[in-house]
Chain A
């Protein structure tokens, strides 16, 4: 029941907003649908807290500790982003950067994007997971090119082709997975259902599964933005409207990591070696290192934070690659806090860019003078994402680093140097943007400050105290990720 509502509400929202078009109330209706989705997600979460994991509709859907908190997080960030996009998109419209038609497309596809991500998270079928991931690309690709500038068209084309090719590799991996499972489960046995595969993973053919994992990791890894498959990510984040950058960075990357982790569990069960983990650690470290060094070369504020997303996805992939209860716990925590912090940062960046009329960091100065809340929001958000205590990112990065020192000491210096370089790059660029003389102007609509500080408060809370049921989910999920 709750699940049906969770999936139906965004789908209905997509249809309603497509029909309504750009009428005055469209942003509010978008917000209302997102709020209803959040309510459904909350109801589902409460039910899982009370009754434990669920399997629904002939096992086609299932909710376990690993995906329940991601569903709640996705619905929550979706709602706050819709709050942020209300004043943001109005200002864009009044500056003449968007037409009525593109507003209709934006609101409708925003809901569609939420639907595909929630479907990808809740489905039990690896094939449907693939279809939903591709659907998420399709829903956002026209949003990246919403401004119709040469640069945004190029970003969208790159996004479409690279993610399309990448995800095609994941489909080949899924076919191989099915090939391995079919002799054991039979055609009618639901040989692509994850719960079924998990139950028999010990008897899956190891050679097929290891090849399948390579394709799956490359495929979904393209969407995660792992180096060297990351080329689409900074462009898509920088050229699309800021609410889309926020949900791409905060939510889509998480869902892609989730897909990789699901596959890793199956492969580990079949191979009994550290093959999958080693691959993920390699890709993760490479992403952290490369992204950190690219950070200092950025001039565009949204590009810089996009590279920061690549860096954090690298950290998360590395953590899951290491495996073990502690590292997986830290990886899950890092997914949560990164998603909250990064979307909060993009909210403030969006308002700051509108105020100053440029994305070039050298031209953004004195945000504190222009609007103290935006200035402090950007400053605190940047400190949080850089892993300053007492924010939650510090807690998860600390856990990952200590585990790495224990199990893979050779990796620790690479991680520490990268984090240091990233700190210097981001802090050195954010500081002059926040302080100094202002050049900003007044905006016709008051900025949405509430989402920023709600997110940062949540990240602060996770750094100091994790609610017991959340910690319990992390522990249970970490146990079976292994």
Chain B
């Protein structure tokens, strides 16, 4: 505990926000209502934005303000809005059916977090930044999002898992190195936005083809 209290206040708050991020990831893993899932995703974006701003204030890295602004616009406002619109247009209010039951998913999730922390341990000792203990959490968020994509059978939750994975990567970049160079971050944000639009197009194509967004329809191409 002494190591923790040695951190300055801002560092402690960032650690707290990282913990919240991890909690939200777990909540997303087990959330079965699709609208709540979108809200959780927006909340994750908000936490991400807040922690980025905090890192920017503490370290004086000016370009992190831009990253935080991009996060706010893209992940808190624009993407959840697009998702909400899509849900309304496609008229899918159904609950999400998991492929594996909730307790099992939770247990696998805990194992994943332990693995992530072990993997990140040698690196976070090197990072030498204010936020270094959070690299493990960032990796855990990425892997939990991955788990979520595996366990869900519907298209929309899979996409939210994909976006949540991107959140984890962004958090990793902020916590490990105070963010990537500006031009790279702009490029990544552009890719995410275009990717989301293509997902939207896909939803409609899948829907017209199969009358449902259940991607277990998409299992015809297999090796015989």
Partners in one complex: yes
Which residues of A come within 8 Å of B, CB atoms? Answer: 125, 127-128, 130-131, 134-135, 138, 141-142, 145, 148-151, 153-158, 160-161, 164-165, 168, 171-172, 174-176, 178-179, 182-183, 187, 190-192, 205, 207-208, 211, 235, 239, 294, 297, 299
- Whether A205 lies near B126 (C-beta < 8 A) is yes
- Whether B176 lies near A179 (C-beta < 8 A) is yes
A-facing residues in B169-224 (Cβ within 8 Å) = 169, 172-173, 176-178, 180-181, 183-184, 187-188, 190-191, 194-195, 198-199, 201-202, 205-206, 208-210, 215, 217-221, 223-224
- Whether B198 lies near A175 (C-beta < 8 A) is no
Q: How far is A183 from B218 in the complex, measured between Cα atoms in Å?
A: 47
A207-B123, A208-B123 known; 10 new pairs, CB 8 Å cut-off, are A128-B184, A130-B187, A153-B202, A153-B206, A154-B221, A164-B162, A172-B172, A176-B176, A178-B177, A191-B181
The contact of A178 among B122, B146, B180, B199, by CB within 8 Å, is: B180
Chain A residues positioned under 8 Å from B224 (CB to CB): 297, 299
The contact of A179 among B119, B123, B155, B221, by CB within 8 Å, is: B123
- Whether B191 lies near A138 (C-beta < 8 A) is yes
- Whether B184 lies near A161 (C-beta < 8 A) is no
The contact of B173 among A125, A168, A175, A187, by CB within 8 Å, is: A175
Top 3 closest pairs, chain A to chain B, by CB: A127-B184, A131-B187, A154-B218
Q: How far is A297 from B223 in the complex, measured between Cα atoms in Å?
A: 8
Closest CB of chain B to A249's CB: distance in Å? 17
- Whether B172 lies near A175 (C-beta < 8 A) is yes
A-facing residues in B4-23 (Cβ within 8 Å) = none
Chain B residues positioned under 8 Å from A191 (CB to CB): 181
Chain A residues positioned under 8 Å from B173 (CB to CB): 175, 178
Chain B residues positioned under 8 Å from A158 (CB to CB): 218, 221
With both beta carbons as reference points, the residue of chain B lying nearest to A138 in the complex is identified as: B194
With both beta carbons as reference points, the residue of chain B lying nearest to A177 in the complex is identified as: B177
Does B142 interact with chain A (Cβ within 8 Å)?
yes
24 A-B pairs with C-beta separation under 8 A: A125-B181, A134-B191, A142-B198, A149-B209, A150-B217, A150-B220, A153-B206, A153-B209, A153-B218, A154-B219, A161-B158, A161-B162, A164-B195, A165-B146, A175-B169, A175-B172, A178-B176, A179-B123, A179-B126, A179-B177, A183-B128, A192-B184, A208-B126, A294-B223
Does B53 interact with chain A (Cβ within 8 Å)?
no
Does B55 interact with chain A (Cβ within 8 Å)?
no
Q: How far is A12 from B72 in the complex, measured between Cα atoms in Å?
A: 32
Chain B residues positioned under 8 Å from A141 (CB to CB): 198
Convert B149-181 into 0s and 1s, putting 1 for each residue whose CB lies closer than 8 angstroms to a CB of A. 100000100100010011001001100111011
- Whether B202 lies near A160 (C-beta < 8 A) is yes
Does B99 interact with chain A (Cβ within 8 Å)?
no
Chain B residues positioned under 8 Å from A187 (CB to CB): 178, 181
The contact of A211 among B123, B194, B217, by CB within 8 Å, is: B123
Does B77 interact with chain A (Cβ within 8 Å)?
no
Chain B residues positioned under 8 Å from A142 (CB to CB): 198, 201
Chain B residues positioned under 8 Å from A134 (CB to CB): 191, 195
CB contacts between A and B, total, < 8 Å:
129
Does B78 interact with chain A (Cβ within 8 Å)?
no
- Whether A172 lies near B123 (C-beta < 8 A) is no
Chain A residues positioned under 8 Å from B122 (CB to CB): 207-208, 211
The contact of A192 among B180, B220, B221, by CB within 8 Å, is: B180
Closest CB of chain B to A206's CB: distance in Å? 10
Name which of B127, B173, B201 has the most chain A CB atoms within 10 A of its CB.
B173
- Whether A179 lies near B127 (C-beta < 8 A) is yes
Q: How far is A160 from B218 in the complex, measured between Cα atoms in Å?
A: 13
Q: How far is A19 from B202 in the complex, measured between Cα atoms in Å?
A: 23
Chain B residues positioned under 8 Å from A239 (CB to CB): 221
Known A-B contacts A138-B195, A207-B122; A128 and B187 likewise in contact (beta carbons under 8 Å): yes
Known A-B contacts A127-B187, A148-B209, A172-B169; A155 and B221 likewise in contact (beta carbons under 8 Å): yes
Total B residues in contact with A, Cβ cutoff 8 Å: 48
Name which of B139, B173, B206, B221 has the most chain A CB atoms within 10 A of its CB.
B221
With both beta carbons as reference points, the residue of chain B lying nearest to A208 in the complex is identified as: B123
Which residues of B come within 8 Å of A, CB atoms? Answer: 119, 122-123, 126-128, 139, 142, 146, 149, 155, 158, 162, 165-166, 169, 172-173, 176-178, 180-181, 183-184, 187-188, 190-191, 194-195, 198-199, 201-202, 205-206, 208-210, 215, 217-221, 223-224
Chain A residues positioned under 8 Å from B177 (CB to CB): 175, 178-179, 182
Closest CB of chain B to A99's CB: distance in Å? 13
Q: How far is A157 from B173 in the complex, measured between Cα atoms in Å?
A: 28
Chain A residues positioned under 8 Å from B169 (CB to CB): 168, 171-172, 175
Chain B residues positioned under 8 Å from A125 (CB to CB): 181, 183-184
- Whether B188 lies near A171 (C-beta < 8 A) is yes
- Whether B176 lies near A138 (C-beta < 8 A) is no
Q: How far is A171 from B206 in the complex, measured between Cα atoms in Å?
A: 28
Chain B residues positioned under 8 Å from A131 (CB to CB): 184, 187-188, 190-191
Q: How far is A40 from B156 in the complex, measured between Cα atoms in Å?
A: 43
Q: How far is A294 from B223 in the complex, measured between Cα atoms in Å?
A: 9
- Whether B119 lies near A145 (C-beta < 8 A) is no
The contact of B165 among A168, A207, A294, by CB within 8 Å, is: A168
- Whether A161 lies near B149 (C-beta < 8 A) is yes
With both beta carbons as reference points, the residue of chain A lying nearest to B124 in the complex is identified as: A179
Name which of A127, A187, A211 has the most chain B CB atoms within 10 A of its CB.
A127
- Whether B123 lies near A127 (C-beta < 8 A) is no
- Whether B202 lies near A154 (C-beta < 8 A) is no
- Whether A160 lies near B123 (C-beta < 8 A) is no
With both beta carbons as reference points, the residue of chain A lying nearest to B186 in the complex is identified as: A131
- Whether B209 lies near A165 (C-beta < 8 A) is no
Q: How far is A171 from B190 in the complex, measured between Cα atoms in Å?
A: 14
- Whether A168 lies near B191 (C-beta < 8 A) is no
With both beta carbons as reference points, the residue of chain B lying nearest to A148 in the complex is identified as: B205
Chain A residues positioned under 8 Å from B165 (CB to CB): 165, 168
The contact of B181 among A127, A176, A294, by CB within 8 Å, is: A127
Q: How far is A178 from B176 in the complex, measured between Cα atoms in Å?
A: 9
- Whether B215 lies near A157 (C-beta < 8 A) is yes
Q: How far is A311 from B219 in the complex, measured between Cα atoms in Å?
A: 24
Q: How far is A136 from B215 in the complex, measured between Cα atoms in Å?
A: 24
Closest CB of chain A to B189's CB: distance in Å? 10
Q: How far is A223 from B77 in the complex, measured between Cα atoms in Å?
A: 31
Known A-B contacts A128-B184, A165-B165; A157 and B218 likewise in contact (beta carbons under 8 Å): yes
Closest CB of chain B to A198's CB: distance in Å? 17
